[in-house]
Amino acid sequence: MQDQTLWIYSLRVDGLTEADVAPWRSGLDAGEIARADRFMFPNSRIEFTAAHALARWALGEALGVDRRAFSFIPGAHGKPDAWLGDKPAPVSFNLTHTKGIVAVAVSTAPDLALGVDFEALDRNVDLKVADSYFGPREVAWLMACPDDDKPEGFLRLWTLKEAFIKATGKGLTQNLASFGFEVEVERIYFTEDIPDDPALWSFQQRLIDDRFLGAVGWRRPESGDLRPIWRAVAPDDLTTN
């Protein structure tokens, strides 16, 4: 029977140096290493290397294969699929990174619409742009939050919406006004522009280390729903396995 677990792995990178992540480069392919090296700033190189090393580690854990066995084929809007040899790997995944943390969501349910987003709570939030990203119901919810809670409320909406557009693979080409969220119950709703059933979608949010907000979203597989498990990964996990 297919494993019904959805793993969301996160790795703090705010204390890592380039020397710390250097051993992980051996698990990346030439294209990933070249992309990492193109970043101008060390923190960006660390973040990219850590995110891709974590994704390969998570995929290897899910399927019990060497992390170096995977190759990645970008989809129409850039969302990559994992391949083993000349075939798609029987796994779904999505990765994210933000200042201080990287994360990946992975499931052995293949062809799963799956998206994950993390944001730092100390990120600068401009509430004036809420109307540009959120629908009227979402803005009304946000404006009803106490003033001190509005920045976090903005990020709760933002991470949920990012998780959805990453799950669809359409990114910011998706009309952000065509869907919205009831934040307190982590539930999506659609306008008539999206011919989909919101009951088929599930979302979860978690506060990580009181510093980061994570959101994951997925369209339920035919065999039933998934059981999300959130796990913090230590740097040694990626070095020793």
* pLDDT score, position 240: 62
* pLDDT score, position 192: 87
In tens, the pLDDT along 101-142 reads 999 999 999 889 999 999 999 999 999 999 989 999 999 999
Residues 14 and 48 occupy one common structural domain: yes
Residues 203 and 142 occupy one common structural domain: yes
Looking at residue 59, which CATH number applies to its domain?
Answer: 3.90.470.20
Q: What is the DSSP string of the chain?
A: ----EEEEEEEE-TT--HHHHGGGGGGS-HHHHHHHHT-SSHHHHHHHHHHHHHHHHHHHHHHTS-GGGEEEEE-TTS-EEEEETTEE-S-EEEEEEETTEEEEEEESSTT--EEEEEEETTS---GGGHHHHS-HHHHHHHHHS-GGGHHHHHHHHHHHHHHHHHHHT-GGGS-GGGEEEEGGGTEEEE-TTS-S-GGGEEEEEEEETTTEEEEEEEEPPTT---EEEEEEPPHHHHHH-
Residues 129 and 108 occupy one common structural domain: no
Residues 70 and 82 occupy one common structural domain: yes
Residues 156 and 99 occupy one common structural domain: no
In tens, the pLDDT along 131-154 reads 989 999 999 999 999 999 999 999
pTM confidence score: 0.94
Window from 27-41, 139-153, 227-241 with minimum mean pLDDT: 227-241
Domain span at residue 75?
1-112+227-241
* pLDDT score, position 5: 92
Residues 153 and 102 occupy one common structural domain: no
Residues 84 and 72 occupy one common structural domain: yes
In tens, the pLDDT along 153-204 reads 999 999 999 999 999 987 777 788 899 999 999 999 999 888 899 999 999 9
**How many domains does the structure of the chain reveal?**
2
